[in-house]
Amino acid sequence: NLQPGKLDRRATLISGGPRPLGMMGGIDASFDAAIFIGYHARASTTDATLDHTYTGQLKRVWFNDRELGEAGLNAAVAGQFGVPVVFVSGDRTVTEEVAALVPAVEGVVVKEAIGRTAAHLLHPKESIERIAAGVTVGLGRRSRTQPLIFESPVTLRIEVADSGQADQVMLVPGMKRVGPRLVEYVAIDAVAAYRVSRLVRLLAE
């Protein structure tokens, strides 16, 4: 949904897939900060618009007993490289979700959920102005924003939609079945856990 011709000429764009790090493709320690624009709450969340984690098949995801959605998973990948998330925009639920993981993050609410597929929205120009101002604030306090870092090894736990999907996921070497729809994998670090979570997504479809 990006329009490449409207990007700043100094920006580069990664497109296509599959990409080992998904939306965080290209991240490394050379980056000063990450900003998350247009995010949504994790799967199985109330009062959220389009809550999901990757697809509708993954119902809950944890790193070391901390429940995460796509925002948290992406923040964990950035955090392994020492990169803090300084800004997030979306509905109120996702901004609160990220703030619980990264307390100093700047959040801008551009819509309020009415239901999973309905929301009360700001005017697009108002959203753009608030996002631009919020990014400036977030970058301004980057030095006080800590990366989201998980202690290694990282225990990845995922609840899928049905037991048949869990059967499929058990094809992954080292995966453990800890419930009818619950699987667990011990990864060497957050990036490895993230990559396995994406593999689980593919197997559970």
Give the torsion through C-alpha atoms of 42, 102, 87, 19, to 10 deg: -60
Count of alpha carbons within 13 Å of 67, Cβ hemisphere only? 12
CA triple 161-167-169, angle to 5 deg: 80
The one catalytic residue in 40, 52, 120, 123 is 52
Please state, as a whole number, how many other Cβ atoms lie within 10 Å of the Cβ of residue 148: 27
Active site residue 120: no
C-alpha torsion sign, points 8, 96, 115, 54: positive
The C-alpha atoms of residue 85 and residue 76 are separated, in whole angstroms, by 9
The C-alpha atoms of residue 160 and residue 180 are separated, in whole angstroms, by 9
Catalytic (active-site) positions: 52
